[in-house]
């Protein structure tokens, strides 16, 4: 390396004074930055109000049933301010604080917000969780127990239930008789049901169980009664079905019939899925 040449080259930056940049002078009448309230897209506002996902909000906007300040709006690019009045089906929308409630569902409760036959619903169990209206993410059968998430975050709920996101669930299954290793292999390779081929992500005997009737199943399919249908197709009867994991959330430290709020870390984790 030519040290003298490099030093000489760098001297042109050290010997001369650095020019001072003058601050630009604002011209009279020039446009100043907008310091008013921050604008948000209309579909995001609707989703944040707990109505539905952003994509579904676009459909509502295009259908002409959304009004802003009394006027029908169909432009998907519409932005609004916090002072604007947004109405959906004559109902004024408000952005509510988001709540995320994790319930360890017991047997004999319906997974719905209301029931025309006055049966007990999961909403009774979480009635003191918050003042805002929350609703179940997905469904568990009346006799199925375990992890159930409830929220008023419509966008996240849609994400966690849409097939393309492959959200996994883990079930503890108790059957009426021992399961053969051959049937374990069949289920692992895929079972043909009336609505097509179903594959599980993982299946194994439950560790610590004193029999071969207790099985752990990991699956991402959200089809109706899918676990029961898999085993029934092979001649087994499901006596007990307990969801022990949903999207990485577990029922640890939540007694049956009780609930807790998700932590900020858990919420962030779900939104990154």
Q: Which pair of structure tokens corresponds to residue 190?
A: 């895929």
- Given a contact cutoff of 8 angstroms between Cβ atoms, the answer to whether 270 and 247 are in contact is yes
For this structure, is 108 an active site residue? no
Buried b (16+ CB within 10 A) or exposed e, 77-97: ebebeeebebbbeeeebeebe
- Given a contact cutoff of 8 angstroms between Cβ atoms, the answer to whether 161 and 222 are in contact is yes
221/84 Cα distance (integer angstroms)? 41
- CA geometry: angle at 207 spanning 201 and 208, to 5°? 160
The label of the residue with tokens 């929308």 reads 93
Residue 197: beta bridge partners?
A: 192
Catalytic pick among 84, 89, 114, 141:
141
Helix orientation angle between 154-161 and 54-63, rounded to the nearest 10 degrees: 110
Q: Which pair of structure tokens corresponds to residue 86?
A: 């947004």
Q: How many CB atoms lie within 10 A of CB 169?
A: 22
Torsion of CA 221, 222, 223, 227, to 10 degrees: 70
Longest dimension (CA), the chain: 93
Torsion of CA 188, 190, 191, 196, to 10 degrees: 150
- Catalytic residue ranges: 141
């Amino acid at each position: 390396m030519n040290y003298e040449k490099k030093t000489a080259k760098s001297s042109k930056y050290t010997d001369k004074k650095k020019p001072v940049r003058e601050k630009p002078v604002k011209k009279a009448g020039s446009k100043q930055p907008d310091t008013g309230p921050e604008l948000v897209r209309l579909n995001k506002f609707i989703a944040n109000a707990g109505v539905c996902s952003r994509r579904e909000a676009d459909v509502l906007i295009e259908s002409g049933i959304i009004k802003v300040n009394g006027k029908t709006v169909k432009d998907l690019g519409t932005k609004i301010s916090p002072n604007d009045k947004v109405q959906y089906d004559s109902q004024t929308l408000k952005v509510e604080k988001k709540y995320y409630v994790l319930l360890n569902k017991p047997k004999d409760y319906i997974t719905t917000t209301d029931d025309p036959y006055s049966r007990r619903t999961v909403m009774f169990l979480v009635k003191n969780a918050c003042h805002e209206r929350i609703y179940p993410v997905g469904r568990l059968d009346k006799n199925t127990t375990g992890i159930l998430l409830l929220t008023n975050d419509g966008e996240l709920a849609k994400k966690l239930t849409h097939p393309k996101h492959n959200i996994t669930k883990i079930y503890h299954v108790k059957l009426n008789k021992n399961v053969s290793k051959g049937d374990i292999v069949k289920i692992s390779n895929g079972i043909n049901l009336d609505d097509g081929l179903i594959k599980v992500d993982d299946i194994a005997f439950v560790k610590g169980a004193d029999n071969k009737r207790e099985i752990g199943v990991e699956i991402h399919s959200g089809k109706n009664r899918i676990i029961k249908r898999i085993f029934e197709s092979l001649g087994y009867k499901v006596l007990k079905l307990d969801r022990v994991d949903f999207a990485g959330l577990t029922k640890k430290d939540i007694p049956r019939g009780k609930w807790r709020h998700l932590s900020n870390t858990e919420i962030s984790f779900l939104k990154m899925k």
